[in-house]
């Protein structure tokens, strides 16, 4: 049985940007959350992120057709990979066809809850975290030049936060004819709190600050979502910032958890 979910979301253009090129969508009924952070001139980033979210959400919704409870880890990861690939194709073709969209692309992180698990697919540096028993863990691995330097031991995680190459992505949706999504599946537990976010949050706040906000403002979770946006803006708001929060409801306390 799929876990019952409580979902909250918020997005803001930040203090410096004129437009919000992030796009988010969440559907608790089918257990789906999608976040994209677009890039490209002439507001093309906004077009790319919207295309990615629309293609992925509509495609997965149609593919499930009410069969949310039955799909397995293999099925969930396949759905995510298939629809990220479709989004990549659509965005790439649009960029080739229209000069004003040339070079546009987007990051994306997709989470699909099923059978007491969550499958995650991502491309780029938008992230997913899990807060469990007051411990925050990053579940995604940035596709960025800075992260590659961390992996090689050339930079610490703290040094990478301010490194000039921190915004240089090694994998994006829409900038080539094909892109592989990184896929993982994790077991869920009652009271887990999951966070999907753009780098407008993680560039402004450390993991420790994010964890503190989730612990302090996590109930109701819309308060936490709004607080994270406010904190990112208070710390500079240099970029668009978006968050989706998903809590696994503890139905046992309500007398119906099985």
What's the Cα-to-Cα distance from 244 to each of 19, 59, 80, 182, 253, rounded to whole Å? 19, 20, 17, 19, 24
pLDDT digits (tens, 9 = 90+) for 135-193: 999 999 999 999 999 999 999 999 998 888 888 999 999 999 999 999 999 999 999 99
Listed by start position, the domains of the chain span 5-248
Q: Across residues 240-255, what is the average pLDDT?
A: 79
Q: Across residues 29-51, what is the average pLDDT?
A: 92
Split at pLDDT 50, 70, 90, the class of 65 is confident
Which fold would CATH assign to domain 5-248?
Phosphatase 2c; domain 1 (3.60.40)
Structure tokens at 244: 């989706």
Question: Angle at which helices 73-97 and 44-64 pack, to 10 degrees?
Answer: 140
31 dihedral zone (left: phi>0; alpha: psi -120 to 50; beta): left
Q: What is the pTM of this model?
A: 0.94
142 dihedral zone (left: phi>0; alpha: psi -120 to 50; beta): beta
């Amino acid at each position: 049985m799929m876990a019952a979910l409580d979902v909250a979301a918020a997005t803001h253009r930040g203090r410096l940007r004129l437009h919000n090129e992030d796009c988010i969508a969440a559907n608790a009924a089918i257990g789906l959350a999608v976040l994209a952070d677009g890039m490209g001139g002439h507001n093309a980033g906004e077009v790319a992120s919207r295309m990615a979210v629309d293609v992925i959400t509509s495609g997965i919704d149609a593919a499930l057709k009410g069969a949310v409870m039955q799909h397995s880890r293999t099925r969930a990861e396949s759905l995510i990979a298939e629809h990220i690939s479709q989004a990549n194709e659509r965005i790439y073709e649009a960029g080739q066809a229209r000069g004003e969209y040339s070079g546009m692309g987007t990051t994306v992180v997709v989470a699909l809850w099923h059978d007491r698990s969550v499958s995650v697919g991502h491309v780029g540096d938008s992230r997913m975290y899990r807060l469990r028993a007051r411990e925050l863990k990053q579940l995604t691995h940035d596709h960025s030049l800075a992260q590659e330097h961390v992996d090689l031991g050339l930079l610490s995680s703290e040094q990478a936060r301010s490194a000039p190459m921190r915004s240089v992505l090694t994998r994006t949706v829409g900038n080539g004819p094909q892109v592989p999504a990184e896929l993982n599946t994790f077991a869920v537990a009652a009271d887990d709190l999951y966070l999907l976010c753009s780098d407008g949050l993680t560039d402004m706040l450390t993991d420790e600050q994010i964890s503190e906000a989730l612990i302090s403002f996590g109930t109701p979770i819309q308060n936490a979502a709004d607080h994270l946006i406010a904190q990112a803006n208070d710390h500079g708001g240099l970029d668009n910032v978006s968050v989706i929060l998903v809590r696994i409801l503890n139905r046992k306390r309500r007398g119906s958890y099985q």
